[in-house]
Amino acid sequence: MSNWYELRIDRALREAAERGEFDNLPGSGKPLPNRGELYDEEWWIKDLVRRESLVGDGLAGGLPPALALRKEIEDLPSVLARKHTEAAVRGVVAELNDRIMLARRGPVDGQPVTVNPVDADVVVRAWQAARAAAAPTAVPTKPADPARTAGSRRRRWWRREHAD
């Protein structure tokens, strides 16, 4: 039974639900997406890329400059994992920062680029920490004492037991 005061839209929704027009909708009975995740300011961009399958150069002409630079920053740890020296890491970061500053100077295609340069010192510290975590820990071993070889231990033990 409906309430005496019911708006037209509420009545239309109630009647549609009673007719079963909302049954078997896609996603019905499934949890809402992104539930329990932290808020991401660029959720709509990531959702668009996922929904439209715009991966890599899937867009005509590639990704917009701001998105391409953000993707490079996001992929930076995997790129730096292949570098073996701090100078090489700093070189990659400097080259990326040069491209960021070039993009920030003048908007390309009328789109402003608001990506901030990457702090090289922070990246180097993270790279060093990742290398230290990935490096196998070597257990220092003492050099073998020639006086304590297996044969000499047996002889001393034999002499102690049978010295009588």
Most confidently modeled range among 7-16, 46-55, 131-140: 7-16
Which residues, at least 6 apart from 103, have a Cβ–Cβ distance to it below 8 Å?
Answer: 65, 66, 69, 113, 115
Q: Tokens 């932290």, residue?
A: 38
* Partner residues linked to 111 by β-bridges: 108
pTM for the complete prediction?
A: 0.46
d(CA 87, CA 71): 23
CB 65 within 8 A of CB 103: yes
Q: Which residue ranges make up each domain of the chain?
A: 8-133
% of the chain with per-residue pLDDT over 90: 10
pLDDT class of 113 with cuts at 50, 70, 90:
confident
pLDDT at 117 over 80: yes
pLDDT at 116 over 80: yes
